[in-house]
Amino acid sequence: RRLRRHDLLVRVRELRARRVDRLLLGLLQARIQLADVLYDTANWSEAIVHYRSAIRLDPTRVTTLVDMGVCYYNLSATDSAVVLFQRALVLDPKQPVALFNLGVVAESQQKDDEAMQYYHRAMQSNPPEQMGQAVSEAMQRIMKRRGQSAPPLPKGAAPGTP
């Protein structure tokens, strides 16, 4: 009889924990959705508030770290942006958006060698087509400033594609 009561208590606790998990997941998704809307309307400071809340609920969401980093960059808080991009890379070392954004930050600080390293890593991470195009254009921009010709195209690539 005592074992059954213990089993019932354990089962009740498990059910409560699942319910709390579902509530937290719903809260996390709501925070991210709200932050994304604010991000899309360039309300950077407000978006940061909601991204920060989402990160407290799940500190392993790479895209949330990157999006919050972009908000900080757009508010000229470059150091905070870099910290977030680097945190994203700790979780996913080949995250193309974080790599690209670190390149953008380095380029904005006239650190072209560092920017090129990040852009190269972004290209090696198989970015989505649109991102690959942006990375390619950034690399060409730096090479043009340096008076160098464009890098050779990867094997099998057509001109105009990354």
Mind listing the pLDDT tens digit for each residue in 59-118?
999 999 999 999 999 999 999 999 999 999 999 999 999 999 999 999 999 999 999 999
Which tokens sit at 139? 């690399």
Tell me if 50 sits within 8 A of 34, measured CB to CB: yes
Cα 98 to Cα 65: distance, rounded to the nearest angstrom: 9
pLDDT tens profile 3-31? 677 677 777 777 777 777 677 777 789 89
Q: What is the pTM of this model?
A: 0.77
Backbone dihedral angles phi then psi of residue 95, each to the nearest 5 degrees? -70, 105
Tell me if 69 sits within 8 A of 98, measured CB to CB: yes
Tell me if 55 sits within 8 A of 65, measured CB to CB: yes
